[in-house]
Amino acid sequence: MTIPNSVTSIGGSAFASCSSLTSITIPDSITSIEEGLLARCSNLTNITIPNSVTSIGKDAFRETKITTLSIPNTVTSLGDAVFYGCMHLTSITIPDFVTNMGDHIFHSCSNLTSVIIGNSVVSIGKYAFNSCTSLVSIISKPMTAPTIISTTFSLYSEISGTLTVPVGSTGYDVWMGTGSYYLGKYNWTKVEQ
């Protein structure tokens, strides 16, 4: 599906559960991808997001079949559970101007292996990485570790991974704790680079 540039807004859940939709191009005239726009489009593998988009709403791509996605650096806001249940997603980069990664953002992304966290992120919500059982690499760019809670890294995985952080950064020792579901519980290693 290609949406013409004459369209300036698309309502929430407009294409939700369109199970035969495989590809969509969002036009340059759109600045916001609304809540649930493409949720449960179970065969959707290709989404093109233009540089005009600044926000992506809750559940926008939930339970789609995307394997990777290029999110433009113009995006500053990502809602809760944007990629919930995207079981084919393998890698993702959070843009540098996003400040918050919401609750359940990668919940049940069981084939997600690597995540790059942009340098403006200040907080990551509950169950953000719940059941990300293939995750082996997180590159976090902020000099001060984003705040997390005890359930942020509920990986439920025996696979150890590597957390890569900037040289001289602070606060990441909290992420590496061994209690509850912190990365230390999963025998991850922190590397400064």
What are the sequence ranges of the domains in the chain?
A: 1-58, 67-193
- CA–CA distance, 24 with 95 (Å, rounded to integer): 21
> What is the reported pLDDT for 179?
87
- CA–CA distance, 76 with 60 (Å, rounded to integer): 15
Instruction: For domain 67-193, give its CATH number from 3.80.10.10, 3.20.20.70, 3.40.50.300, 3.40.50.720.
Output: 3.80.10.10
For residues 118 and 93, the answer to whether their CB atoms sit within 8 Å is yes
> What is the reported pLDDT for 76?
96
Of the candidates 159, 161, 111, 115, the residue with the CA atom closest to the CA atom of residue 136: 161
> What is the reported pLDDT for 181?
94
Residue 7 host element (H or E): none
> What is the reported pLDDT for 52?
97
84-89 own/partner pairs: CB under 8 Å, 24+ apart: 84/59, 84/108, 85/109, 86/61, 86/62, 86/112, 87/111, 88/45
> What is the reported pLDDT for 2?
85
Mean pLDDT score across all residues of the chain? 97
Positions of the chain with pLDDT under 70: none
